[in-house]
Each structure stands twice: as structure tokens, then as C-alpha cells.
Structure 1
Amino acid sequence: MDGMDRTGDDDLFARLKAYEGRPATLAGTGKDPVNLPMIRHWCEALGDTNPAYTGPGAIAPPTMLQAWTMGGLAGHTTRTPAYDELLGLLDEAGCTSVVATDCEQEYLRPLRPGDEITFDTVIESVSVRKTTKLGTGYFVTTRTRIHAGGELAGTHRFRILKYAPARRKKAPADTRPRPVVNRDNAGFWEGVQRHELLIQRCADCRTLRFPWLPGCDACGGLDWDTVRAAGDGTVHSYVVMHHPPFPAFDPPYAVGLIELVEGVRIVSNVVGVPYDKVRIGMPVRLEFRRYDDELVLPVFRGELFRGGLS
């Protein structure tokens, strides 16, 4: 990303900057008070077993801070026109695409079941024009102050990039989509190129994890090494894809959640058997399939049950 880009049209930039400090939401209220069912669903989804989030004295996980302010599909009636006007200006300037980039949260006091949530949001900043791999546009940051019982409980900064998509050479329609490779998972894809399926292993607690993560979700350790998967597994769950039609694929086909003998799970295609013969518990064996000069992907060949399917 080029942090020293020109500001572009001075008039546009001045109009955008004029929105800094303007409210985006005034006197917003949470659609529900802090409650145990939402806390339980959150913890189950993330696998968080911290005892502080259960029982009579339970508190809400701090990272749920934004969840209590969400308006759902209907949105909030306390939203002001300013934020939509700002995004409208960017649309008119050709910045018609948007992507969330990051958020920052500050926790000032724990939230407890029964707390009634109120909040206000302000447009904190609009950046100078930036050029990114996605395209050229502007970073827009909002800051939300969240109160519980009239007391400030935390702040939430949310940043988006509103941009004009960069023009790219269009790939042939039958080109298979490429995986997203970043610094956290590059080692995995390098292993795939060597026909190795690598599983991360925490250097501290030795817990295996997949997909690849920058830190251990069991103990939080940041150091790790890898284990090469033996390649044997079973179908833990699966779906059969019929739609949407896409030239690079040939539906119907089965996509499985494969449980490896090492105990981790990976999503990949189940091949070698008819899609309607795939079953939960079916033994599978790792293979590497080359789709073109650049793309190699791990897939799993199914084995039909003896005496059952034919």
C-alpha cells in the first residue's frame, strides 16, 4: 500500500473531510439487553470455555462489545444521514466497492446480563486517497462509544476502504479460482506444492490446529512447527453442490469436511466415488490434483463401504 498517495481532487477531499466529527448514530439503543443466551451462543461458536462467562456472576466476553449494538436486518432508526451521504459522495467519485479492513476495541468495564446498552457513533476520520491491491480509494473510520446503565463501557473503532476496483486482466471463464494466500498460511500452500499436507503444531502445548492461524487457540502460544499429515481420514460431514453453475466446476460434486487421523478437519472435494455415494464415516485418502500449470489442490478419494454401496 502506498501511504504517500496524492489526495486526488482537492474539492472532493475537502468535501469528504467536512464529514469528520459528524454523528453517524445518535442515542442508539441495543435491540436486546446483555443476556446469557447470546453469550452462550457466542462462546459455543468460538469454543470459549472461560468460566467467567457462565453461572450466576457471568460477564459477557469483552469481544462481544460490538454485538450488543448491531441492528440486525432492520437496522437502527437512530442512524443519521451523514454516513450515507459520505458513502454517496465516494460512490459518485467511482469508489463503488467497500471492504472492512480492521477494528479496534477498548474495554472499560465488563458487561453483565441485564445491562441495557446505549451508544453513539461519530465519523472519526477520512484518509487521503490511497492505492491498494484492491484499488484506489479512501479509508473511513467511525468510532462508537458504548454505554451500559449510563456508564461508558467501551469504544469500538471500525475502518472500511471505499474504493474503485483495480482493473485486472480477466481470466478465462474455465479458470479455477485461486486460494487466498497470505503470510499466515503461505507455508501450508508451499507444502501443497510439494504434495505435503502440513498441520500446525503449537510449540508450547503441542496442540495440532487447522486451518493455519498465527497463534494457538488452545494456549495462545505464538511459536509453532508443523506435522505432515499421514493422509488418512473419514468424512465427518458433506454437502453436494448443484449450483451455481460455473465453467471451472462440473456439478454435481461432493464437498466434504474431512476428519484426519491426526484429529483436525479440512474442507475439500471428495473424489473417486459418485457424489450420491458419499456418506458420513466414509474412509478417504489424501491425493493431490493438478488443475493447471500453477494450481495444485489437496482432495480426498473416497472408498465405498464393503457390502453396502455399489
Structure 2
Amino acid sequence: MKAYEGRAAAVAGTGRDPVNLPMIRHWCEAMGDRNPAYAGPDAIAPPTMLQAWIMGGLDGHAGGRARPYEELLALLDEEGCTSVVATDCEQEYLRPLRPGDEVAFDTVIESVSERKTTKLGTGHFVTTRTDVRVGSELVGTHRFRILKYAPARRKQRERRPRPVVNRDNAGFWEGVREHRLLIQRCTACATLRFPWLPGCHACGCPDWDTVEAEGTGTVFSYVVMHHPPFPAFEPPYAIGLVELAEGVRIVSNVVGVPYDKVRIGMPVRLEFRRYDEELTLPVFQGVAQ
């Protein structure tokens, strides 16, 4: 593949349109750039528009890809590097472009890297250099780098951590498996409690029964988890302290609405979400306000 370095990637390409004020205006409006140098009778084009004048659009332009470049891409495909991603570009500006300039360009394969391993997969970085001219004058250079790679095999999605089940909370998790959210109730003073405890925090009585939550509530407080990332979770996501209609509070995910739309006081409704063949968890569907 090193033999392709220095060979053509595009020959005698021409811009589809001369440098013009309407395109300059659209570019500046999109970028929010109000530099007076880009407007008026003596306007120049923003230097970073260099590539815009040589893009072929949907229909391409005169002077397309050269055979050596097509051969290199085919060779990489044969090696299993069937995917491609743009990685970076560099531009050098030698003189400003002005309305009316007609650009032409030639592109060469500047370098092909040794095989590299990345998070995306293994492959080769291919750098092309495009020389942009007006007439015979070199006005700028554009280097563009891609990675042609063989996609890495994705690891099997990691499972969520298992809840710790013990003799004090086993009844709660049995209820979850049956899609019932059970709340402890003291048989002496009828105080409801959550999370589950071995005795009543109000009167100390060790005896209890359960009531089933109706499943409605509101967000009492919440946080949005951005970092650190953790296997089986996809940040950012909202974790809510939900006050149930029965008066107790439970911590769980707020789902069904964008994380940045969760608000204190937002009404939520219980649902049971299955994450794998063994794990079902109670979560709360939010209602955007």
C-alpha cells in the first residue's frame, strides 16, 4: 500500500461554481460570522470555506477520483477494511479567494499508515492532499485524513448489577417479579415504610404486613448521571427520588422523557422494565409538562 503514496486521488478537478457572494453570505449566517471583510464590494471569502468551493455535491464535478485511489480503496476492502470514518483535516491558506475566482484542484495520496488498532477496529489511515488553484496560482492546501478499518467485534452487552437480596427485603423482590410494588406496613401503628426494614422506625414493632402501591407519584428530587460511565448503563440518564401516592419515597430511574426534561413535581407512573432474562426493575414513566 505504501506504493500508492504520491499517486493521484483526483485529477484536474474544477469547482462547480465560481466564488460568489450568496454562498459567502449563507456560510457567514450559518457560522454567525459578521466580519465586515466578508461583505460589500471588496468582500473576500472566509478562509475556512476553502473546501466548500471544491465540493462536488450530489452530482459530482468534472475531474473525479483517479484510478490509483480507487485501487487503494479496493485493496483495503479486500483486507477487510470495509468501513470508513473521517478523522481530521488541515488547511493552509496562501491568499484570499474573492468573488469571481474560478478554482481548480488536484489531489494526491500523501500517506498510508501502517495497520493501526483503534476502538473502532483495525485499519489504515489514508491522508490525501488537495492543492487548490486559481489559474496557475496556488491559493490553498487541504489535507484530509480517513480511517479505513475492519469493525471491531462488539462485546456482548454487559448486564446490569444484580440487587442484593437478603431476608429483610426478599419479599419486596418477590413482589417485583410479580409486577407488584409492595410497601411494608407496621401492624401496630400502621406506619408505612420504604425501603424495607426489619422493624418499624416509628414504634419499634417487629411485626408487619404489606400494601401494594397503586403506582402513581411525583418527582420529589432528581439527579442526572453524566459520569462516570458504567457498563450496561448509557449516560446521561435521570435518577429520581419519587414520592408515591402512599407517602413513601423510592429511588429509581425516570424514563420515557428526555433526561433534561425531568422536573421536580413531574407526575410519574410505575412500570416494570425487564433488562435481561433474570432482572426486572421498577422504574417510573415521566410525563413532560
Instruction: Read off the aligned partner of 1:93 and give its amino acid letter.
Output: E
Tell me by how many angstroms 1:76 deviates.
3.0
1:94 corresponds to: 80
What SS is found at the alignment partner of 1:83?
helix
For 1:143 and 1:300, the matched residues in 2 are separated by 52
What CA distance in whole angstroms lies between the structure 1 residues aligned with 2:89 and 2:82? Answer: 21
SS in 2 for 1:18: helix
TM-score, with normalisation over the residues of structure 1?
0.54
* Partner Cα distance (2:51, 2:265) in 1: 41
Give, in angstroms, the shift of residue 302 of structure 1: 3.9
Per the alignment, do residues 57 and 300 of structure 1 end up closer, same or farther by CA in structure 2, a change over 3 Å counting? farther
Q: Map 1:237-256 to 2 at 5 A.
A: none
Q: Counterpart in 1 of 2:53?
A: 68
Deviations 1:178-204 (A, max 9, x none): xxxxxxxxxx934987979xxxxxxxx
Correspondence list, 1:211-226, <5 A: none
Q: Is the 8 A contact 1:269 1:300 kept in 2?
A: no
Query: What amino acid does structure 2 have at the position aligned with 1:21?
Result: G
1:144 matched to which residue of 2? Answer: 130
**Match of residue 239 from structure 1:** none
The change in CA–CA distance for 1:33 and 1:130 in structure 2 (over 3 A counts) is: same
For residue 110 of structure 2, the aligned residue among 112, 124, 130 is 124
User: How many residues get paired?
Assistant: 188
After superposition, where does 1:1-310 map in structure 2 within 5 Å?
Answer: 16-79=1-64, 80-171=66-157, 189-190=226-227, 268=258, 302-303=288-289
Take 1:286 and 1:50, find their aligned partners in 2: how far apart are those partners?
Answer: 46
User: In the alignment, is the contact (CA less than 8 A) between 2:107 and 2:129 conserved in 1?
Assistant: yes
- Distance between the aligned counterparts of 1:20 and 1:286, measured in 2? 63
Pairwise CA distance, 1:163: 0.4
- Asked if structure 1 preserves the Cα contact closer than 8 Å seen for 2:109 and 2:128, the reply is yes
Q: CA deviation at 1:26?
A: 1.3
Mean Cα deviation higher: 41-50 or 97-106: 41-50
Could you tell me how far apart the structure 1 residues matched to 2:10 and 2:265 are? 52
Paired letter, 1:156: H
Once the two structures are TM-superposed, the CA of residue 171 in structure 1 deviates from its matched residue by 3.5
Q: Residues 129 and 141 of structure 2 are in contact (CA less than 8 Å); yes or no, is this contact kept in structure 1?
A: yes
CA contact (8 A) 1:137 1:162 kept: yes
Q: Cα–Cα, structure 1 residues 87 and 285, in superposed 2: closer, same or farther, change >3 Å?
A: farther
TM-score by length of 2: 0.57
Partners of 1:46 and 1:164 lie apart in 2 by 35
Contact 1:270 1:301 in 2 (8 A): no
1:41 deviates by 1.1
How far apart are residue 88 of structure 1 and its match?
0.5
Quick one: which amino acid aligns to residue 48 of structure 1? Answer: D
- Flag the 1:21–1:193 CA change in 2: closer, same or farther, 3 A: closer
Q: Quote the RMSD (CA, aligned, Å).
A: 3.5
The residue type paired with residue 104 of structure 1 is E
